A and B are shown apart, each in its own frame.
Chain A
Amino acid sequence: GAVVSQHPSWVICKSGTSVKIECRSLDFQATTMFWYRQFPKQSLMLMATSNEGSKATYEQGVEKDKFLINHASLTLSTLTVTSAHPEDSSFYICSATSFRDYSYNEQFFGPGTRLTVL
């Protein structure tokens, strides 16, 4: 199956700093990538959808200026949490899908990134 990686797997930062999380599709070209956040014992909450070369579409209530998403290529999307605060501490997960290579709805998830803001 398709493989999606995330880097870093965990990060600890000080309040007020920015953190960048990378999501890569390793063996396929992702036409669309999704970013989720997940709090302990809760479901995945979609933050935004990004298509290569275009601006991300954010879900209602997600601050686009705080969570910057860049989908620069068909294999890489980045999420930057700007001016992070303790309430941004969460598990961030990306997923990728490809119209061309796979069943059109199939999403492949990354392993997640644990962000802790002190």
Chain B
Amino acid sequence: QQQVKQSPQSLIVQKGGISIINCAYENTAFDYFPWYQQFPGKGPALLIAIRPDVSEKKEGRFTISFNKSAKQFSLHIMDSQPGDSATYFCAASISAGKSTFGDGTTLTVKP
């Protein structure tokens, strides 16, 4: 049973556009929701994370929107750049426990 569903599987956006990736979770005990960015042949790097007591968090061009009642959260990348082309993973965890990852979204930003 997949606990975190991520969509879309791939996304193509023009430079300067907005990239939106969505995730839905099932376990209401999750209390930490990070997004990771991974380039080919590299380990994931934490991009931004949110806890369920806030509905939005913004860091530079990256924003997480969180909807607790719908059990959904999304990543918005504003002014997308070719350097943002990577695979993005959402995840969810309970306290200090292990994370459950989404299947990933391959983002391509065309110049």
Question: Measuring CB to CB, which residues of chain A are less than 8 angstroms from any residue of chain B?
Answer: 1, 4, 6, 32, 34, 41-44, 46, 49, 91, 93, 95, 97, 99, 104-112, 114
Cα–Cα, bound, A91→B101 (Å):
16
Identify which of B45, B93, B98, B102 contacts A109 (C-beta below 8 A): B45
Does B42 lie within 8 Å of A44, measured CB to CB?
no
Q: Chain A residues near B93 (CB, 8 Å)?
A: 105
- Interface extent on B, as a size class? 20 to 34
Does B96 lie within 8 Å of A108, measured CB to CB?
no
Does B101 lie within 8 Å of A108, measured CB to CB?
no
User: Min CB distance, B1 to chain A, in Å?
Assistant: 12
Which of A44, A93, A104, A112 is packed against the most chain B CB atoms within 10 Å?
A: A44
Cα–Cα, bound, A97→B106 (Å):
26
Cα–Cα, bound, A95→B45 (Å):
10
Does A44 lie within 8 Å of B96, measured CB to CB?
no
**A and B contact pairs by CB, cutoff 8 A, 11 listed:** A4-B43, A43-B101, A43-B102, A44-B44, A93-B44, A105-B32, A105-B49, A106-B46, A109-B36, A111-B42, A114-B41
Q: Chain B residues near A44 (CB, 8 Å)?
A: 44, 89, 101
Does B89 lie within 8 Å of A43, measured CB to CB?
yes
Cα–Cα, bound, A1→B57 (Å):
19
Which of B31, B32, B98 is packed against the most chain A CB atoms within 10 Å?
A: B98
Does B104 lie within 8 Å of A110, measured CB to CB?
no
Identify which of B31, B36, B104 contacts A42 (C-beta below 8 A): B104
Q: Chain A residues near B65 (CB, 8 Å)?
A: none
